[in-house]
Amino acid sequence: MMIKKDIKSHKLMYLKAILFLLILVISVIEILLTTRDLKTGILLILIIWASARIYYFMFYVIENYIDTNYKFSGIISFVQYLIRNKN
């Protein structure tokens, strides 16, 4: 049985954020070096921006402006929330 624990260390949280940023930067650079296409670069910027905005909506906007009883715990949680609250 796998036990899930929340990360408590601020240093580990920052490390996790830095690693995600590193994955993002390396992936974008690799795609741009492979395609060498301005259109692809613009589309990547739009994907990154839109992904961040939808995540912010799922996490912050729903919890603080739409339904203060809802507590975000991930994308699957958000989909379940949508299914339960179709009205």
pLDDT for 1: 61
Q: Sign of the C-alpha dihedral, residues 65, 45, 40, 23? A: negative
Mean pLDDT of the chain: 88
Q: Which residues of the chain have pLDDT under 70?
A: 1-3, 87
- The token duo for 61 is 């906007």
Predicted TM-score (pTM) of this structure: 0.65
CA angle at 33 for the pair 30 and 37, rounded to the nearest 5°: 120
pLDDT for 81: 87
